[in-house]
C-alpha cells in the first residue's frame, strides 16, 4: 500500500518570505516536501532520506528502507524506524 510522508526542510513560514516550489506544502508553519513509499507499516517513523539503500542503519533490526516515489526529493530512499511488537 502506498503511503504519503513529509520531509521537514526546517524552513519556517514567513521568516525569509519563503515561496513554495513544486509540490511543497506548509505543515505546522514549516516547509515540507511530500513523498510516497510502498509497504511501510503503520507506526513506522520516518528517520531520514538518503541516496543509498545500503547505509549501516539498514543492519539495525528496527530499521526498514523503502524507495521514494512521487517526490521532488533528490534522495532515492527513505529510512524508517519500526518496532515490530
DSSP sequence for 48-65: EEES-S-SGGGGSTTEEE
The domain limits of the chain are 2-81
- In tens, the pLDDT along 12-69 reads 877 666 677 888 889 888 899 999 999 999 999 999 999 999 999 989 989 999 999 9
Q: Which contiguous run of DSSP H or E holds residue 12? A: strand 2-12
Taking Cα atoms as reference points, which of 37, 81, 39, 40 lies closest to residue 62? 81
pTM of the model: 0.87
Amino acid at each position: 500500500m502506498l503511503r504519503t510522508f513529509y520531509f521537514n526542510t526546517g524552513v519556517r513560514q514567513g521568516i525569509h518570505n519563503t515561496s513554495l516550489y513544486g509540490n511543497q506544502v506548509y505543515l505546522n508553519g514549516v516547509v515540507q516536501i511530500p513523498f510516497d513509499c510502498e509497504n511501510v507499516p503503520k507506526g513506522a517513523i520516518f528517520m531520514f532520506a538518503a541516496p543509498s539503500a545500503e547505509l549501516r542503519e539498514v543492519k539495525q533490526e528496527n530499521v526498514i528502507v523503502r524507495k521514494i516515489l512521487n517526490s521532488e526529493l533528490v534522495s532515492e530512499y527513505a529510512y524508517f524506524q519500526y518496532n515490530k511488537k
